Amino acid sequence: MIRLDLAQLPFSLLDDDALAQLRQGADVAYYDRGEVILDAGDVGQHVFVIEKGAVEELDLSAPSARARIGLYTHGDLFGAISVLNGHSRYRFVADQETLCYLIPGVLFSRLCEASAPFADYFRQRLAEKSRLLTEQREGGVTMAGFMLARVSECMRAPLLLEAGDTIQDAVRALNKQRADSVLVFREGELGIVTKTDMLNAMVLQGRDVGAALGDVAEYRLVTVAPDEFLFAALVKMTRHEVARVVVLRQGRPVGVVELPDVLSYFSSRSYVVGLEVEKAGDLEALALASARLPELVRALMAQGVKLRFAMDLLAALNGRIMSKAFGFVVPAARQAQSCLIVMGSEGRGEQILKTDQDNGLILADDVDWPDREPVLARFSDTLLTLGYPPCPGHVMVNNPEWVHSVAGWRARIARWALLRDGASMMKLAIMLDAHAIAGDLTLLDKVRAALFDQCSRDELLLSQFARSVLKFSTPLTLFGSLKKPQHGIDIKKGGIFPIVHGVRTLALQARIDATSTFVRLERLAASGVLSREMAEDLGEAMSLFAELRLHQQLQRMADGEPGEGSLLVVQKLPSLERDMLRDALHVVSDFRQHLSRRFHLEY
């Protein structure tokens, strides 16, 4: 007995037979304003579809009185998750007089069994939602960027030869100019000769190297104008199944656009910056290359490159820049005797824009380097001029606290493990994320081994170490109740930190030497410490947080508004992102409970 339009998602995924069952099997119910339709903890017996009225979804686990996390109106569906999970996580209350269709849980489960797409629609997990979002973004920003580019930005100069010139002449010219095609005029008519044309002429048609180009050229050209959109050129290539188009201005050839050039048009920038870093022969050149990193990030994000890969690329570039700077400042002999490590988010390869310098130095045990302090101070200053601000906690090589021999580091780790106070735990955490970027990289392995030996089997220490994941509450309750724009969710404390630290703790216990949270998650799943599902969800949640945070930071930079970008104003997010954020925060919340049980943090 459903009067609703069943032609919309998710019902459009059902066949006629299933729709008939649905029409026949649904109950109808009336709820008064304020009436609880489905309470938190209730067994999910029905899926609700709203015919009239509005229903709000409240999170009761919130300490604050009412935390509205969702509002459903005509045509919306809720309670499906409760049926699938067995019970409801939230309280659903009629916000006004509401008439709902109730699809019995048994019927709903049967429909899910009968139709995989229908079931998938509901079981759509975080990873898939995230993909949807990326697609949405790609469809928006990238296509916009792509469509705005003009043909003239991406064309090569044409290589013009005479119709009487030979194939041999053409090959010479092509090699010299590193081109793939030549243009020829024959009696005022423009033709093109590609490498393939010449190959076919010689091999298949038996012509010799002296054959005239005019005879092998193709005169049916696909052409574009220089001020046309690059996108149009790509469409023409696709339509005519050719790999290049000729650019004509008032009938005269001014260039050629090659398919590979179009495709690499957007990804070329990362390549260019990387090249500049490698080529830099002095600090000034390095500083110039380094200054282009934020622009690169923005370009990559606009292309819809997955944040994780953008972070990897950026970590690699930052590592190269610091390593180069280290090479400029520190004498070669000393470089071989020491190991420069970066720590914190840089060590994990998870910084997105430039972060503070978090670094330290490990010296080989037998090294005596008495005048190192001025050299290391100069290195820190150099990084500063390259655009890496100093670390507020002073975790830097110009601080003797963070420069030790291998034996010295072992002793400090032992002391931290013994002290077990907050500061020591933090230092252990910092050290766990250390990543070697210059000098003798094996020195870090020795220190890390000492760290694992000291901590990975000490249950009490691990429990103490894990405890700080409970330090900041997950900001699930704040949805809907924020009003002023300066208020917001601290995505770093509430989302990123618990994941990073929890994964770090598990990695410590499992002696996993990777520092990236993503790689740690993969290894944890591979070794069975975490379920594959949880590891994937955590990875996706982590990407989402980082992405939201990055967008905010980029936005602030564009607005010329410096400062911390980790406060996220939920109301400003589009609803899909809001939903995803909520799901991701749930993943965090579940993970914290998992850690609580595992490390006995309840007490």
Partner 1 sequence: MLKAIRRAVDRHRHGQGAYAHLFERYQGDEVIALDCETTGLDPRSAELVSIAAVPVREERALSGSALDIRLRRPAGLSGDSIRIHRLRPMDLSDGLSVEDALVALLDFIGNRPLLGWCIDFDVAVINRHLRPRFGFELPNATIEVSALYQRYLRRTQPDVTPDLRFEAIAKALSVPELERHSAKGDATTTALMYLRLKKLGAVASTN
Whether 245 contacts 256, CB under 8 Å: yes
| Residue (74 or 471) nearer to partner 1, CB | 74
Candidate ranges 23-31, 136-144, 193-201, 529-537; the one touching partner 1 (CB under 8 A): 23-31
| Residue (17 or 559) nearer to partner 1, CB | 17
Candidate ranges 24-32, 72-80, 423-431, 479-487; the one touching partner 1 (CB under 8 A): 24-32
User: Minimum distance from CB of 77 to partner 1 (Å)?
Assistant: 16
User: Minimum distance from CB of 592 to partner 1 (Å)?
Assistant: 37
| Residue (23 or 446) nearer to partner 1, CB | 23
Candidate ranges 96-104, 254-262, 341-349, 586-594; the one touching partner 1 (CB under 8 A): 96-104
Question: Cα dist. 522→467, 504, 506 in Å?
Answer: 23, 12, 12
User: Minimum distance from CB of 123 to partner 1 (Å)?
Assistant: 23
What 3-state class would DSSP assign to 549? helix
Give yes or no for residue 111 binding partner 1 (CB under 8 A).
Answer: no
Query: What residues numbered 35-74 form the site for partner 1, per CB under 8 A?
Result: 35, 51-52
Whether 74 contacts 52, CB under 8 Å: yes
| Residue (34 or 389) nearer to partner 1, CB | 34
Whether 350 contacts 547, CB under 8 Å: no
Q: Take residue 60 and report the two structure tokens written for it.
A: 């009761």
User: Minimum distance from CB of 72 to partner 1 (Å)?
Assistant: 17
| Residue (29 or 133) nearer to partner 1, CB | 29
Angle at 428 between CA 423 and CA 434, to 5 degrees: 130
β-sheet bridge partners, residue 161: 184
Candidate ranges 97-105, 142-150, 333-341, 502-510; the one touching partner 1 (CB under 8 A): 97-105
Candidate ranges 11-19, 30-38, 130-138, 149-157; the one touching partner 1 (CB under 8 A): 30-38
User: Minimum distance from CB of 56 to partner 1 (Å)?
Assistant: 18
Give yes or no for residue 76 binding partner 1 (CB under 8 A).
Answer: no
Quick count: other Cβ atoms within 10 Å of Cβ 477?
A: 20
| Residue (15 or 32) nearer to partner 1, CB | 32
Task: Report the first-to-last Cα separation within the chain, whole angstroms.
Answer: 52
Whether 506 contacts 465, CB under 8 Å: no
| Residue (34 or 41) nearer to partner 1, CB | 34
| Residue (78 or 388) nearer to partner 1, CB | 78
What is the DSSP track for 128-142? Answer: HHHHHHHHHHIIIII
Candidate ranges 8-16, 25-33, 226-234, 492-500; the one touching partner 1 (CB under 8 A): 25-33
Give yes or no for residue 5 binding partner 1 (CB under 8 A).
Answer: no
Half-sphere exposure of 249 (CA within 13 A, CB side): 10
Please list, in sequence order, all residues whose beta carbon lies within 8 angstroms of the beta carbon of residue 432, skipping any fewer than 6 positions away: 451, 504, 507, 508, 515
DSSP secondary structure code for residue 222 in this structure: -
Helices (H), 204-306: 213-216, 230-240, 259-264, 268-279, 283-291, 293-302
Give yes or no for residue 102 binding partner 1 (CB under 8 A).
Answer: yes
Q: Strands of 359-363's sheet, edge to edge?
A: 403-405, 359-363, 338-342, 435-439
User: Minimum distance from CB of 429 to partner 1 (Å)?
Assistant: 53
Nearest CA among 243, 483, 257, 439 for reference residue 342: 439
Whether 149 contacts 262, CB under 8 Å: no
User: Minimum distance from CB of 475 to partner 1 (Å)?
Assistant: 35
Give yes or no for residue 20 binding partner 1 (CB under 8 A).
Answer: no
| Residue (1 or 419) nearer to partner 1, CB | 1
Whether 515 contacts 348, CB under 8 Å: yes
Q: Which of 30, 219, 271, 309 binds partner 1 (CB under 8 A)?
A: 30
Q: Take residue 600 and report the two structure tokens written for it.
A: 């006995």
How many chain residues touch partner 1 (CB under 8 A)?
20
| Residue (97 or 138) nearer to partner 1, CB | 97
| Residue (16 or 366) nearer to partner 1, CB | 16
Strands 91-94, 36-38: pairing is antiparallel
* Contact positions vs partner 1 (CB under 8 A): 1, 3, 24-32, 35, 51-52, 97, 99, 102-104, 107
